[in-house]
Structure 1
Amino acid sequence: MAIKQNILIAIECNINKGNLRRAKELLSHYYTQYGMDEAYCSTMAVIHIHGGQYPSAQVILEQGLRINAINLDLLFNLAFLQFLRGDIIYAGYLCEKIQTLSNDENLITEVRDLISKIDSSDPSVKRANHRCNICSSEVNRFLPWGGYISPAVSEYQIIGSDIENFSCPRCRAHDRERHMVLFFDTLDFWQENIIGRRVLHMAPEKHIKKIIDLLGTVEYVRGDLYPTSNDVKRINITNINYENNHFDFIICNHVLEHIVDDQKAIKELYRVLKPGGKAVLQTPYSAKIKVSYEDETIVAEQNRLEKFGQADHVRIYGLDFFERLKAAGFEVAIIQNSSLFTKEDAFHYGFNEKEDLILVQK
């Protein structure tokens, strides 16, 4: 390992001195010993950048990122390359991504220097167009959803996540968390429904969970069928192991679309909720269809992705979703997003302005 690092240091010294030929010779020796790894791709790209060979540098960096998509050296060199090529929007995006991943103060300093160059290179580019209400960071942009987007999303005009403004580049809070917290802040739900109450939180979102942890609940139960942390209980939403009329408030945010027997799950949520208790039951749905699109024969993940919009979804809810809630006994109150927030709010905080709050009461 020491020999490997010494070769890389020697290459860097030659690059800094402008001796690109010698740097290439040393890198060729490195390749013979260690092959095309992340360090090779990053170093070769730097040599090409110094030689003004921007297109080939781009190809090499992309090759390295296929080996490791979060290698910080590769990401920084790609950001610098985009800056040199005039794509300051992409360069800024990469800088923000590095800041979320890195704890290296030296690298963070280099990134901040590059951000300053990006800002000064084009006075028309304004940073901090957006604000994350979870971590209070002012950010130039939210990060888009990085996965495959099924044609079903646009075909059915599914109301759900804002895939263009999905996650905060600083704290990684996704749009549904930010939107939910804005709803709760504006409607004073923390005081009215959570402080001093018994709360059930299914599939608890990381950042909302942290907020509730700091509040004075009588009981805060975090439940998931597949818990990923010790403070989350294993709870099957179709068979909740609590007595009738136990909870004052339930949060079930984008869960029911994953449940095969969703009507049983809805009945269970109704059962464990106290009379007069409230629940937030968000789910993606399509206002284009009256009857939910379901097909029990569609079980393969790829087929579900194509048909339902996500590999672990089992349906696309239609407008009958609200009738399913009523059939279980719930009173349904839809709090329209537009009654609380403007289009400018949706842009600034990065959430889907079409998604209303689905509030029910027992």
Structure 2
Amino acid sequence: MKPYAQLITSQVFMNRLRNMRLQVRSIPYRMGDTVECPICENHYKAFMPFRYRKNAYCPSCKSLERHRYAYLTLRDRLGFYDAPLKKVLHFAPDTCLSMTVKGNQYIDYLTADNMTSFTNSITDKPDCVMSIDDIQFEKNTFDVVIAIGVLVMVPEDTKAMREVYRVLKPGGYAIFHDPINYKQAYSLSDTSLTKEEKLGLYHGHDQRWYYGVDYADRLQAQGFEVEDDTYAQQIDNKRYGISPNEKIYIARK
């Protein structure tokens, strides 16, 4: 067998093995009906832990809190899955969200990532390898851009915001979600922090930005109109394993 074929076979085997181990570990969590994943509609005693967070990970569709909230926002607030036809670009394509889009007759769907943050426990390999701060499409191409947990990883996040604005059609919108410290007034780049400060802020995660309450202002400075979001307080957030303080930023062109 050629080396490349051996590598592919090995990766497939390892992915299957990891999934089998996940399903075994998830058995105790499946013994109950306290929480529900709105994406795959499975019920659990609690969601599984993910990294440092408890009650976070759905073992069936691989969703996290942010994915479940994004899905509810897209489905119930924005009518994303219904007519009319939309051309959509999804950065760092989340497995759980991709599966709700593929095959939808109203969505012309394309995924992209620069692969530096690829995590096969929650994301799929993209159709296009590109960074969000250098989008290889003409202006006014897409009706919707989805970027969940993406800006936080980009060295020049304002450049990425401008790129998303550029490729959106007039009247189109982008969905942004990143970890935000609402006790912090201003966003900080990792270049201004020591290693010890990074560990204290976000558990050592390798993100480039530490966002504060000026997140929406940063989007507006690049031309977007940003909607205020209180939807998490209007839904059964405990049932879905979502913080009532969660926010999705809907940024319109």
Q: TM-score, normalised by structure 2?
A: 0.79
User: How far apart are 1:71 and its partner, in Å?
Assistant: 9.2
Larger radius of gyration: 1
Q: How many residues align?
A: 230
C-alpha deviation, 1:218, in angstroms: 5.6
Identify the match of residue 96 of structure 1 among 7, 28, 43: 28
Other-structure match for 1:358: 249
Matches within 5 A, 1:241-260: 241-260=136-155
The match for 1:348 is 239
Tell me which residue corresponds to 1:220.
Answer: 109
**Which one has a larger percent helix, Structure 1 or Structure 2?**
1
SS in 1 for 2:251: strand
Relative to 1, partners in 2 of residues 1:311 and 1:305: Cα closer, same or farther, differing over 3 Å?
farther
Deviation readout 1:257-310 (Å, 9 max, x if unpaired): 11110010011011111111111111111121211132415586x864434444
Instruction: Report the alpha carbon displacement of residue 203 of structure 1 after superposing the two structures with TM.
Output: 0.6
In structure 1, the residue matched to 2:220 is 326
Q: Conserved in 1, the CA contact under 8 Å of 2:182 and 2:213? A: yes
Question: Where do 5+ consecutive residues of structure 2 fail to align?
Answer: 1-16
Q: Per the alignment, do residues 95 and 221 of structure 1 end up closer, same or farther by CA in structure 2, a change over 3 Å counting?
A: closer
C-alpha distance in structure 1 between counterparts of 2:223 and 2:204, whole Å = 29
Task: State the alpha-carbon separation in 2 of the partners of residues 331 and 268 from structure 1.
Answer: 15
Amino acid across the alignment from 2:57: S
Counterpart of 1:133? Answer: 38
Match of 2:231 in 1: 337
1:170 equivalenced with 2:60 (yes/no): yes
Distance in 2 (CA, whole Å) between partners of 1:213 and 1:203 is: 15
Q: Considering only aligned residues, what root-mean-square deviation do their CA atoms show, in Å?
A: 2.9
The CA distance in 2 between the partners of 1:204 and 1:235, in whole Å, is 12
What is aligned with 1:266? 161
Select which of 90, 99, 112 maps to 1:201: 90
| Larger RCO, structure (CA 8 Å, separation 6 or more) | 2
Q: SS state of the match for residue 228, structure 2?
A: strand
Residues 135-158 of structure 1 deviation map (CA, whole Å, 9 limit, x = unaligned): 21121111122x3x4xxxxxxxxx
**Alpha-carbon contact 1:96-1:170 (below 8 Å) kept:** no
| Offset of residue 220 of structure 1 | 1.4
C-alpha contact 1:167 1:174 (8 A) present in aligned 2: yes
Structure 2 CA distance for aligned equivalents of residues 237 and 277 of structure 1: 17
**Contact 1:305–1:312 (CA<8 Å) still a contact in 2?**
no
Could you say if the C-alpha distance between residues 69 and 225 of structure 1 is closer, same or farther in structure 2, counting changes exceeding 3 Å? closer
CA distance in 2, matches of 1:207, 1:69: 17
**Alignment of 1:306 onto 2:200:** yes
Matches of 1:132 and 1:219 in 2, distance apart?
25
SS where residue 219 of structure 1 aligns?
Answer: strand
Q: Which runs of 5+ in 1 are unaligned?
A: 1-67, 77-92, 100-114, 116-126, 150-162
Please tell me whether residue 189 in structure 1 is matched to residue 79 in structure 2.
Answer: yes
Q: CA distance change for structure 1 residues 167 and 339 in 2, over 3 Å: closer, same or farther?
A: closer
Give the % identical residues: 27
Distance 1:236 1:71, change over 3 A: closer
Distance 1:213 1:179 in 2: 19
User: 1:69 Cα shift?
Assistant: 10
Runs of 4+ displaced beyond 4 Å: 68-72, 227-231, 297-300
Matches within 5 A, 1:99-110: none
- In 2, the alpha carbon distance for the partners of 1:320 and 1:230 equals 32
